[in-house]
Amino acid sequence: MSGASAPVSAAADDGIGELRRAASQRLAAAGYASAALEADLLLSLATGLERGQLFAWPERAVDAAQRQRFEQLLTRRVAGEPIAYLLQQRAFWSLELRVSRATLIPRPETETLVELALRALPADQALRVADLGTGSGAIAAALAHERPRWSLIGLERDPDALAIAALNAARLQLDNLSLMRGHWSSALGRASLDALIANPPYVRADDPHLGQGDLRFEPRAALVAGADGLLAIRALIADAPRCLKPGGLLAIEHGWDQGADVRALMQQQGLEAIETWRDLAGQERVTQAILSPRLNARPHENLDQRPLD
């Protein structure tokens, strides 16, 4: 994206319609495919108006404070700051979640992890499921929303991220989701979980993508996991047999090229029924295993995303 920053090229007394047009052109010039939509979202945030009102009142004037706020938001977006951070929200699964610079931005590929857990675990049992490194609480919130009989525990080391997760749990009225401050599974008791779910950091420290796109703005500690990207995954897999009940499920999101390494680490810990699942883009994304004896999981024939051969 272009880093050029020029003020909205509309006169000070121009109405909403002209502001929308000028901002859309500026965002399009910066390379954003959804420039018109983003211009409307930022203008709605700056003015407090719904998008439909922006359409309906193109001649309506915007006061100086609102215009200044809009210009600030637009400048940050042109500089590459993610729209989710500017709006402080992101859709994930079927939920609208609050996000901040303390949390990762929930991504569509992580919904693979949610879908796997929903399909692999019985819906009608009172299960205890932990989401490690919960961040904004996206995974835990999605599972708690879909499975009211489950008890979800979201663990997070960063207090600012944990505050965002708590806000999401409260806004969504998820009484079956509790949050704890802790580093991975260290705060969990022995044989205390029916399932352990995690989207840990898995980016290599020297990955050039860290200097590109949204990753430039996201918390590095939530992205990077050592030289090979497996530091956090190793720790999670090593402690999973202690935390899981017999037959408990472990499911971990990982990088597209890390599936073989994750499967090997799970095998080394004596975990069974190890399978890797692809995301909607066809990339290896989530690997699951169980602590023997095996859970009564649903048959794979009912799954849309097939396990790897």
Asked if residue 199 belongs to a known ligand binding site, the reply is: yes
Asked if residue 256 belongs to a known ligand binding site, the reply is: no
Asked if residue 52 belongs to a known ligand binding site, the reply is: no
Give the dihedral of Cα atoms 178, 180, 186, 187; nearest 10 deg: -70
Asked if residue 133 belongs to a known ligand binding site, the reply is: yes
Asked if residue 134 belongs to a known ligand binding site, the reply is: yes
Asked if residue 277 belongs to a known ligand binding site, the reply is: no
Amino acid (1-letter code) at residue 301: E
Copy the structure tokens of residue 60.
Answer: 């309506």
Asked if residue 296 belongs to a known ligand binding site, the reply is: no
User: Strands 151-156, 89-92: parallel, antiparallel or unpaired by DSSP?
Assistant: unpaired
- CA atoms of 73 and 69, how far apart (whole Å): 6
DSSP E strands in the chain: the ranges are: 89-92, 95-98, 128-132, 151-156, 177-181, 193-198, 244-253, 272-278, 284-290
Asked if residue 135 belongs to a known ligand binding site, the reply is: yes
- CA atoms of 129 and 189, how far apart (whole Å): 13
- CA atoms of 50 and 47, how far apart (whole Å): 9
Asked if residue 34 belongs to a known ligand binding site, the reply is: no
Cβ–Cβ < 8 Å for 188, 250:
no
Asked if residue 137 belongs to a known ligand binding site, the reply is: yes
Asked if residue 136 belongs to a known ligand binding site, the reply is: yes
Tell me the binding residues for S-adenosyl-L-methionine: 133-137, 156, 184, 199
Tell me the binding residues for substrate: 199-202
Tell me the binding residues: 133-137, 156, 184, 199-202
